[in-house]
Amino acid sequence: MNLRSFAAALAVTVALPFGAANATDLEVTHWWTSGGEAAAVAELAKAFDATGNHWVDGAIAGAGSTARPIMVSRLTGGDPMGATQFNHGRQAEELVEAGLMRDLTDVATKENWKDIIRPASLLDSCTIDGKIYCAPVNIHSWQWLWLSNAAFKKAGVDVPKNWDEFVAAAPALEKAGIVPLAVGGQAWQSAGAFDVLIVALAGKDTFLKVFGDKDEEVAAGPEIAKVFKAADDARRMSKGTNVQDWNQATNMVITGKAGGQIMGDWAQGEFQLAGQKAGVDYTCLPGLGVNEVIATGGDAFYFPVLKDEEKSKAQEVLASTLLNPATQVAFNLKKGSLPVRGDVDLAAANDCMKKGLDILAKGNVIQWTDQLLSADSQKQKEDLFSEFFANPSMTPEEAQKRFADIIASAD
């Protein structure tokens, strides 16, 4: 190759990115890697690619607890991605305060997010000092008990309609060689299950007093003691789970090896992927069948401040694509979560999602612990409950005392 053609080749490779400038690559990092989640995120990528841009998938395997440190270190280390998932709430609070995240208020006013996003608390979680920093994409609620109809049939008992019936059915399940309650080994799962028990058994007000007002007297009081008794039951029923990941635990329910699982509505994507039908193969009990309240945690996309003009434009396109009615429906049906806007048609939703939508329409919603507590307090809570669920010699009283301490020191 002579020098001139070499130089020409070099020039072409340099010029190429500019030539294709209207198809901007935008790297999007997220931790949606289980089967149902991957199918859902593919819908987002499809919608974004349809706008003439290109979605570069930056999936980080493992749960959010693995992915978030990687995202944060990229952001603080000066290597920002185009957009990134966080659970909206306090996880990205400091990143916003440090000026690393882009202000989306312009896009939000142009597209009227204030009017279309429902419930309003979602947008509040994205708002810091009156400015909007994230685009919520779905509502995830933790308050679900998933039950395997096949497991209860095998044990010869009716499928329970609430938590108490479930606890009562546990011995029959055990006799049939079925683990009554699947709880994966990752710490966030046991901590989350406990938060669900609080809402279901002690009620919305107690939940808000403990996590919202950080009232340690309530946390040490009789209402929460009742919840710790239930957690003790849950601990006994979860013995023999021996899996780590949440989707492995969900799989135990799908295959009938476990009776049930307390897990967020993202578990539904797994049931769907396995070809199971709500009401026939599995049963879902929002609020554990006791107290039908759902929390409006969920996922949101944050957009780091970028120097590249083209990419910044593409960020705006992505933000409005995420909230587009068609994208919302396609994504949330696959993901098993609820859309963030009330004006979309979810006729294709299954029984469980419809139950969720009903509760949402009635306004029985609360903010979730991700929105109320700092990551630090959440971690301490996880340490406590992973120990509690693994160590049968730890009494509920002892655990409650430590729980109250965590609440007292929470910020």
Partner 1 sequence: MAGHTRGSGRPNQWLRNLNAKLASIPMILTAVVIFLGGTIWTVVYSFTNSKLLPRLSFVGLDQYERLWAAPRWLMSVQNLAIYGLLSLIFSLAIGFLLAALMDQKIRFENTFRTIMLYPFALSFIVTGLVWQWLLNPEYGIQSVVRSLGWTSFAFDPLYNANIVIYGILIAALWQGTGLVMCLMLAGLRGIDEDIWKAARVDGIPMWKTYVFVIIPMMRGVFITTLVIIASGIVKVYDLVVAQTSGGPGIASEVPAKYVYDYMFQAQNLGQGFAASTMMLITVAIIIVPWAYLEFGGGRKRA
Q: In Å, what is the CA distance from 401 to each residue of 183, 209, 223, 254?
A: 23, 17, 13, 36
C-alpha to C-alpha distance for 75 and 91, rounded to whole angstroms = 13
* DSSP string across 334-380: HHT-B-SBTTS--TT--HHHHHHHHHHHHT-EE--HHHHS-HHHHHH
Tokens 């305060």 correspond to 97
Let me know: does 117 contact 104? Beta carbons within 8 Å: no
What tokens does 364 get? 């029985």
Between 109 and 391, name the residue whose CB sits nearer to partner 1.
391
CB of 391 to partner 1, least distance (A): 5
Between 37 and 382, name the residue whose CB sits nearer to partner 1.
382
C-alpha to C-alpha distance for 85 and 397, rounded to whole angstroms = 38
Between 211 and 389, name the residue whose CB sits nearer to partner 1.
389
Residue ranges in 228-267 that form contacts with partner 1 under rule CB under 8 A:
242, 244
Let me know: does 102 contact 269? Beta carbons within 8 Å: no
CB of 177 to partner 1, least distance (A): 14
CA angle 353, 39, 122 (to 5 degrees): 50
Tokens 């190759």 correspond to 1
Tokens 């655990």 correspond to 399
Residue ranges in 73-92 that form contacts with partner 1 under rule CB under 8 A:
73, 76, 91
Please tell me whether residue 395 binds partner 1 under the rule CB under 8 A: no
Tokens 């499928």 correspond to 159
Between 31 and 166, name the residue whose CB sits nearer to partner 1.
31
CB of 244 to partner 1, least distance (A): 7
CB of 263 to partner 1, least distance (A): 18
Between 34 and 91, name the residue whose CB sits nearer to partner 1.
91
Between 162 and 374, name the residue whose CB sits nearer to partner 1.
374
Please give the span between the terminal C-alpha atoms of the chain, in angstroms, as a whole number. Answer: 66
C-alpha to C-alpha distance for 371 and 390, rounded to whole angstroms = 27
CA angle 315, 328, 88 (to 5 degrees): 65
| Contact range with partner 1 by CB under 8 A, out of 93-101, 163-171, 195-203, 223-231 | 93-101
CB of 52 to partner 1, least distance (A): 35
Q: Where are the beta strands (DSSP E) in 70-152?
A: 83-87, 127-128, 131-132, 134-136, 144-148
Residue ranges in 35-74 that form contacts with partner 1 under rule CB under 8 A:
65, 68-69, 72-73
- Draw the binding track, 175-204, toward partner 1 (x: CB under 8 A; -: no contact): ----------xx------------------
- Draw the binding track, 97-136, toward partner 1 (x: CB under 8 A; -: no contact): -x--------------------------------------
CB of 73 to partner 1, least distance (A): 7
Q: By CB under 8 A, how many residues form the interface with partner 1?
A: 30
| The binder of partner 1 chosen from 95, 104, 169, 410 (CB under 8 A) | 95
User: Nearest-CA neighbor of 81 among 299, 303, 301, 300?
Assistant: 303
| The binder of partner 1 chosen from 94, 158, 308, 358 (CB under 8 A) | 94
Helix (H, G, I), strand (E, B) or coil at 257: coil
CB of 108 to partner 1, least distance (A): 24
CB of 148 to partner 1, least distance (A): 21
Tokens 């994507």 correspond to 269
CB of 346 to partner 1, least distance (A): 34
Residue ranges in 323-382 that form contacts with partner 1 under rule CB under 8 A:
374-376, 378-380
Between 84 and 337, name the residue whose CB sits nearer to partner 1.
84
Let me know: does 186 contact 245? Beta carbons within 8 Å: yes
Helices (H) and strands (E) in the chain, counts: 21, 13
Please tell me whether residue 389 binds partner 1 under the rule CB under 8 A: yes
Binding residues for partner 1 (CB under 8 A): 65, 68-69, 72-73, 76, 91, 93-95, 98, 185-186, 242, 244, 374-376, 378-380, 383, 386-391, 402, 409
